[in-house]
Amino acid sequence: MKEVAISEFKAKCLSLIDQVQKTKKPICITRFGKPVAEVSPPSARAQGADWFGSMKDEIQILGDIISPANDEDEWEVLRDETAPRYAHLDMEHAGLGSSGKKNRAGNQKSRE
């Protein structure tokens, strides 16, 4: 394994990484002659592993995944009894007059 001083690695980092990529041989980085790190090529698993399609034949879909989980008659938003709950959202309570415009104070325009 090739050894490179840390100061040389700092100066030539990109070219040394390219060298590791091309030769597929690791480089040992040293500080005062003692190894502190290794730069090695990626493993075969990391190079060729494609996540897309990796779970093929591992998952089973049981039942209908397109229709709603419960019937429409169970939806609270479609019930008539919930309509009064949303009455506060009409234009009068939102500070809007019949014209749909607010005055400068944000209050409803008075027609006195």
Alpha-carbon gap, residue 26 to 41, rounded angstroms: 6
Q: What is the rounded distance in angstroms from the CA atom of residue 34 to the CA atom of residue 36? A: 6
The per-residue pLDDT for 68 is 79
Would you say 39 and 13 are in contact if contact means Cβ atoms under 8 Å apart? no
- Is the pLDDT score of 112 beyond 50? no
pLDDT digits (tens, 9 = 90+) for 60-73: 888 888 887 778 77
Is the overall model pTM greater than 0.75, yes or no?
no
The answer on pLDDT for 35 being more than 80 is yes
